[in-house]
Amino acid sequence: MDAFWEIKTLKELSQSEWEQLCDGCAKCCLHKLEDEDTGDIYTTNVVCQYLDSEQCQCSHYSQRSVLVPECVTLTPDNLEQIYFMPASCAYRRLAEHKPLPSWHPLLTGDKGSVHTAGQSVQGKVISELDADDLIHHLTGEWD
Ligand code: SF4
Ligand code: SF4
């Protein structure tokens, strides 16, 4: 496969190429908290109720924007939202002119490599339906 992500800009990608960039980490489905004074964003171990956290897949993908209005659906037309993605997110990395991480499925040829590299939320999170106040679930800064 051509390394299309190295020769095209994000806006030049086909729909299929765009979808392939997603590594399946599901970090974008984590709840985050913002420090109102500093604007710093902190992440938690709490995920959206619609995430299948074992498969790291949205269980209501086609309805996600309706069910969860704050769910960010990245497209080539809203790249300004890209900086709300985690630092490991392939879209953000390419927007910042960084290479894909070595564990990315496009480089390994294995969709599971994001999990074996410990870069997904698999096995590390709880559903928002089971969580109490998010302040009790902070895990670190969202850089
Ligand atoms: S953070 Fe980026 S790469 Fe990971 S699941 Fe979300 S959109 Fe895909
Ligand atoms: S609706 Fe789906 S894609 Fe959006 S945050 Fe929830 S689980 Fe993730």
Mean pLDDT of the region 115-123 = 95
What confidence tens digit (pLDDT) does each residue in 98-112 have? 999 999 999 999 999
* Burial of residue 8, with CB atoms counted within 10 A of its CB: 0-12 exposed, 13-18 middle, 19 or more buried: middle
Residue pair 48/68 in contact (Cβ under 8 Å)? The answer is: yes
Q: Which residues line ligand 2 (CB under 6 A)?
A: 29, 48, 50-51, 58, 64, 67-68, 71
23 lines ligand 1 (CB under 6 A): yes
**Beta strands 126-127 and 51-52: pairing type?**
unpaired
Mean pLDDT of the region 70-80 = 87
CB atoms within 10 A of CB 6: 9
C-alpha 9/C-alpha 32 separation (Å) is 29
Chain-centroid distance of CA 77 in Å reads: 17
More confident residue, 127 or 142: 127
Total-model pTM = 0.92
Domain residue limits, the chain:
4-141
More confident residue, 81 or 18: 18
